[in-house]
Structure 1
């Protein structure tokens, strides 16, 4: 079988640690090109993966005509570069958040439809074993009616992860648009939509910059969310959790409480109202900490969808719905401050 010719646009940490590694491990993929505005960086990756190096994504798309691209750029470039690639006939895997506005997201979706190409957004939480098992248990009724939830995603901040450290685009509002909520909160909005199989109809939140000096980007947020059926809960996103990363979710149901990624040994703990406790060992969640799972499963899913002409689990419409939750939280926080 002919291999998919793939290009990665943006060679920061997410490309280095996820996209390039996982494409390289997929037997159906050939990495043909990499692109980054930092010449030394892109040349290093080109040498490592025996690919062609570019500092202009337009030149890459014109010269290479890849089958698919990963867009691993600062948030403000996601829409423009994804649309350009789709218009060139490429399938696109875009990092989250998919865009900086509803309008941009809609333009990306329209470009994918118009060109009959796949558009997938890089939300990896749906592929985590404990999350998939929890969804199965909820769907088959083990937890009964769901009443509430608590979810958190926090770590020490992108300076410990990003290729450029404290000088990263993550801390520049004109490039990032949104901070911890776009980096981490949008993952949890997507996860909750997946687990509960519902949309959020009411959103409120406080979004603050109180931990990182010298930036006006948000680094701490707490949100209250309500679904169409009345399930309520909280979502917290933070770049100010010192020590170990927190990536936990708790679902409170009529018959059971499900604790996801909240124990060092058991990735899912189900406590039933009759006192029975079931501990699941399902493998570690993907993490920026040492010891996190080595594959996100995002790349393999994207490749499979192209090869078998199936719709990605997190397509453009799904990415947009998760983005809209975060945008609504920002609007709520802004209204609170004005009021």
Structure 2
């Protein structure tokens, strides 16, 4: 049984990590969050220690090293994006391997610094790239690898996840902390596209504001106009008033259904990490490079065939 600490226990994604730790039959020893709305712990791991001050959490975690049966093996990081690097570094320096949510970090420079800390501590960072474990994505990847074709796949990515006024008042609405809409809600899709279609050869940004962004990505085996939004006004007429989220990926005009099966992917990710098959810093490098380029906000006019269909609504 491995001992885990969890940083960012009150966040949206934290319960999936708690559930994964429990379902893989390991021990959630201690949690930290500056906010104390963490009642979910009672239903998953009521014996866990909890701190609202990082200094007290770190001191407690460090002291656990004195008792071999209680010392921490892993630190799971679910904190706001801008704190990931600092919290991962702290976990590594506690003598733990680290499991972190996306985006790992916003820039290649910080990614390289993490690699240096790995070398200094002898411990490793793992990124949750859960879509790489989704059955529909794996099936498409297998098809792409086995199929021989002259041209590239024509892919279209659309993701609209409606958010209320709270979003812009939270850290997620502050680009200094979330690194912008494309990073915050798009990074796992960009990783998925690289996973299926190979290295990126073109990255264009066509539009970006606080609530939406769109652009064009070209990979070795696919062209991908993309559109991401948290604005309910962008929902297609066919789903308005019926659902708050619209997720669509088409490949050569055919819809890829992958809306189901998301809730268990963190547990699968933990199983793979614990078995020594987790995704590390170099696996995450491609999507970090992708979002880092988009964050620069260098907008270009789309060429013919590169604009997402929703782009015309923005101009």
TM-score, normalised relative to structure 2: 0.80
**Which residue matches 2:206?**
206
**Which residue matches 1:151?**
157
Is 1:190 aligned with 2:196? no
Aligned residues: 281
Please report the RMSD computed on the Cα atoms of aligned residues, expressed in angstroms.
2.6
**Which residue matches 1:7?**
5
**Which residue matches 2:51?**
54
Which whole-Å CA distance do the structure 1 matches of 2:76 and 2:226 have between them? 28
Kept in 1, the 8 Å contact 2:11–2:79? The answer is: no
- The match for 1:320 among 277, 280, 285 is 285
TM-score, normalised relative to structure 1: 0.74
Kept in 2, the 8 Å contact 1:186–1:322? The answer is: yes
Residue ranges of structure 1 left out of the alignment (5+ in a row): 210-217, 262-266, 268-282, 287-293
State the 1:192 CA deviation: 0.4
**Which residue matches 2:251?**
251
For the structure 1 residues 67 and 303, does the alpha-carbon distance in structure 2 shift closer, same or farther, using more than 3 Å as the test?
A: farther
For the structure 1 residues 4 and 325, does the alpha-carbon distance in structure 2 shift closer, same or farther, using more than 3 Å as the test?
A: same
- The match for 1:80 among 69, 83, 86 is 86
State the 1:325 CA deviation: 0.7
- Aligned residue for 1:117, secondary structure, equals coil
Which whole-Å CA distance do the structure 1 matches of 2:283 and 2:251 have between them? 21
Which whole-Å CA distance do the structure 2 matches of 1:146 and 1:172 have between them? 37
Is 1:66 aligned with 2:72? yes
1:149-170 deviation per Cα after TM superposition (whole angstroms, max 9, x unaligned): 111222103x49xxx7664211
State the 1:177 CA deviation: 2.6
**Which residue matches 2:32?**
35
Which whole-Å CA distance do the structure 2 matches of 1:90 and 1:251 have between them? 41
Residue ranges of structure 2 left out of the alignment (5+ in a row): 65-70, 236-242, 302-315
**Which residue matches 1:334?**
298
- The match for 2:223 among 229, 232, 255 is 232
For the structure 1 residues 16 and 87, does the alpha-carbon distance in structure 2 shift closer, same or farther, using more than 3 Å as the test?
A: closer
1:160-199 deviation per Cα after TM superposition (whole angstroms, max 9, x unaligned): 9xxx766421112332232x21122111110100111x11
**Which residue matches 2:68?**
none
